[in-house]
Amino acid sequence: MTQPVATPPVARLSDAAIRRQMLTEFWFYFRQNRGAVVGMWVFLVLVLLAVFAQVIAPHDPTQQYRDALLVPPFWQEGGRASFLLGTDAVGRDMLSRLIYGAQYSLFIGIVVVAIALIGGIFVGLLAGFFGGWVDTVIMRVMDVILAFPSLLLALVLVAVLGPGLTNAMIAIAIVYQPHFARLTRAAVMGEKEREYVTAARVAGAGKLRLMFKTILPNCLAPLIVQATLSFSSAVLDSAALGFLGMGAQPPASEWGTMLAEAREFILRAWWVVTLPGLAILISVLAINLMGDGLRDALDPKLKRS
Amino acid sequence: MIRFILSKLLYLVPTFIGITIIAFGFVRILPGDPVLLMAGERGISPERHAELSAQLGFDRPIWVQYFDFLGRLFQGDLGNSLVTKKPVMDEFLTLFPATVELGLVAILLATIIGVPVGVLAAIKRGSWFDQVSMTAALVGFSMPIFWWGLLLIIFFSGILGWTPVSGRISLMYFFPDVTGFMLIDSLLSGQKGAFTSALSHLILPSIVLATIPLAVIARQTRSAMLEVMGEDYVRTARAKGMPQSRVVGVHALRNAMIPVITTIGLQIGVLMAGAILTESIFSWPGIGKWMIDSISRRDYPVVQSGLLLIAGLVMLVNLLVDLTYGLINPRIRHK
């Protein structure tokens, strides 16, 4: 009468298959957000422009054409076909400078986010994992950094380190790093009491392994979203520093620096002022759109609703 | 409530000490001689060098310098500017009202427009209004405001000629400084056209400064409203047959306002960063422009004290926000 209960066959998926499935699911949710997809495409175009700037740009970005000062874009009277978007006050081709400017912005974004992310994850992990006085000291230091308006602190840091692109990137990264530290800490504190961590601990995993291999991968979602947001803020803030003369130095074709040089021509030559800013706005907007989509796709709370 | 205030105040002490250390330390972590750095390319005679070193206390041990700095700080003495020779505190107090006026008008503008837009977008979720306003908010959020300011100048000052390009008021008007707020002082002076002039100077800078807070407030209000509208008590209110306006205005909005108020309070830091850019574009004589000018003139006593004052201010406003939050929401207080 008693029959053996048939256990349903457990579907065992390989790690690679699970990863594939997660990626498919992520893509499914990401695609729901039309803006995010548009943002992604714009961002890809920017990346291509930056990578292939040498091939795409019609002129050298620092070459000064003395016979072509402040030439308007080609559709305006006096425009020339060889300078599609016109030239600036010393006769450099706007289009080429804008294309090369994409290199600066992406490079700045990547470097700033990388430094801030690595630093923030490291101190955040330490604070969240060890707690106690380590946590208190680290988080108080982060509070101090957060008490300063980011641009002001970055400005002062650059003033101390000396104006220039490298110092601007370091300064911005230092200012952003507490956000990552806080997020990591909060996520680690939520995760470290979970059963899988205890299981790993019981199985004899060392502290470093627990921190970096067991806990960290489960804290990544909010960090990825924050990284995207910081990427766009880094592009904005470095342009602001360039605009204030504290970032990349002329003749660099960084967009903020270009704007600073163009300021005196604002009522005479609209294109030298309008175009670099438009480039900043479009890139930042594209990255923010992508960030919104990433948040929707990675945040399980929103998925359900 | 008193315990809550005290605990919040106590919590600020280490942060404040940290702020003083950073403000104090930044001149001294420079590689090389700070006096030579301040002198810049002009160079300096040995006598003047020794004099300045002694005056600024660089010849004493660093911890003595720090406690001296703290001691003077608590007496309200922030040293003198190297350029104007005037006490830093006096300069700050003269310029501060200009920044406060600009900031207040900007945050008012951002709130008055941002909150209704967010509420309406949430109620009409998915409508064209929702889509257009949220797209606009994202554009505003991504805006390089220094460029936005230049565009507004090109259009409204350059092409239309409606607004002045820089300053707080036309040079034609002169009246005593009563409140430090140009809008109020110009009214008090009773001079014809003074108020209009002050207003026309203020309008573009405040739009520029309001842009990012406006976008943030609109987005935050919308998402807070959406969250609250899904709550049981809102459904209950609806089920009771309450009119939509009452459900939204009383039940939903009041609860949604709590995170929104926090967001508005947190915009003070954003405003200060924005003030640096806005004031430098419009030559607005406030503390943002003061800081930028001092940084480029290597006027380190001003930079040091300005940093301290601004960070202290941000800290204070955040404390006020925390306290208001505790006042509105008893659950926070008793945690």
A199 by Cβ neighbours in 10 Å (0-12 / 13-18 / 19+) ranks as exposed
Percent of chain B at pLDDT above 90? Answer: 22
B18 and A276 in contact by Cβ < 8 A? no
pLDDT band at B334 (very low <50, low <70, confident <90, very high): low
Q: What is the mean pLDDT of chain B?
A: 83
Q: Chain B within 8 Å of A128 (Cβ-Cβ)?
A: no
Q: Shortest Cα distance from B175 to chain A (angstroms)?
A: 32
Task: Answer for the pair B147, B180: CB distance below 8 angstroms, yes or no.
Answer: no
Closest CA to A91 of A116, A115, A65: A65
Q: Is the pLDDT of residue B32 over 60?
A: no
A150 and B295 in contact by Cβ < 8 A? no
B141 and A288 in contact by Cβ < 8 A? yes
DSSP class of residue A181? H
User: Which tens digit of pLDDT belongs to each residue from B115-128?
Assistant: 999 999 998 888 99
Q: Chain A within 8 Å of B126 (Cβ-Cβ)?
A: no
Q: Chain B within 8 Å of A288 (Cβ-Cβ)?
A: yes
B154 and A266 in contact by Cβ < 8 A? yes
Q: Chain A within 8 Å of B142 (Cβ-Cβ)?
A: yes
User: Which tens digit of pLDDT belongs to each residue from B39-71?
Assistant: 666 667 777 777 777 777 777 777 888 888 888
Task: Answer for the pair B107, B274: CB distance below 8 angstroms, yes or no.
Answer: no
Q: Which of residues 235-264 of B touch A (CB under 8 A)?
A: none
pLDDT band at A1 (very low <50, low <70, confident <90, very high): very low
Looking at beta carbons, which residues of chain B come within 8 Å of A259? 146-147, 150
Q: Shortest Cα distance from B131 to chain A (angstroms)?
A: 11
**ipTM rounded to 2 decimals:** 0.84
Q: Chain B within 8 Å of A302 (Cβ-Cβ)?
A: no
Region of residue B76 (left: phi > 0; alpha: psi -120 to 50; beta: else): left
* Distance of alpha carbon B257 from the chain centroid: 21
Question: CA A181 → CA A34, A125, A145, distances in Å?
Answer: 31, 8, 12
Looking at beta carbons, which residues of chain B come within 8 Å of A270? 154
Q: Chain B within 8 Å of A236 (Cβ-Cβ)?
A: yes
Q: Is the pLDDT of residue A5 over 90?
A: no
Closest CA to A139 of A172, A181, A177: A181
B305 by Cβ neighbours in 10 Å (0-12 / 13-18 / 19+) ranks as buried
User: Which tens digit of pLDDT belongs to each residue from B172-226?
Assistant: 777 777 777 878 888 777 777 788 888 888 999 999 999 999 999 999 999 888 8
B138 and A151 in contact by Cβ < 8 A? no
A108, A138, A148: best to mutate for the B interface, most B CBs within 10 A: A148
Distance CA A286, CA A48 (A): 14
Q: Which amino acid is at A145?
A: I
Residues forming beta bridges with residue B87, ordered by sequence position:
B80
Q: Chain B within 8 Å of A230 (Cβ-Cβ)?
A: no
B144 and A256 in contact by Cβ < 8 A? yes
A273 and B150 in contact by Cβ < 8 A? yes
Distance CA B241, CA B291 (A): 57
Asked if omega into B116 is within 30° of 0 (cis), the reply is no
Q: Chain B within 8 Å of A42 (Cβ-Cβ)?
A: no
Closest CA to B285 of B131, B146, B95: B95
The pTM assigned to this predicted structure is: 0.86
Task: Answer for the pair B314, A148: CB distance below 8 angstroms, yes or no.
Answer: yes
Q: Based on DSSP, count helices (H) and strands (E) in chain A, helices before strands.
A: 13, 0
Q: Shortest Cα distance from A209 to chain B (angstroms)?
A: 33
pLDDT band at A57 (very low <50, low <70, confident <90, very high): confident
What pLDDT score was predicted for residue A100?
92
Q: Shortest Cα distance from B18 to chain A (angstroms)?
A: 6
What pLDDT score was predicted for residue B319?
83
What pLDDT score was predicted for residue A111?
94
The DSSP secondary structure of A250-304, one letter per residue, reads: TT---HHHHHHHHGGGTTT-HHHHHHHHHHHHHHHHHHHHHHHHHHHHH-HHHHH
Q: Chain A within 8 Å of B296 (Cβ-Cβ)?
A: yes
Q: How far apart are the first and last CA of chain B?
A: 12
Task: Answer for the pair A292, B149: CB distance below 8 angstroms, yes or no.
Answer: no
Which range is least confidently modeled, A181-195, B42-56, B230-244? B42-56
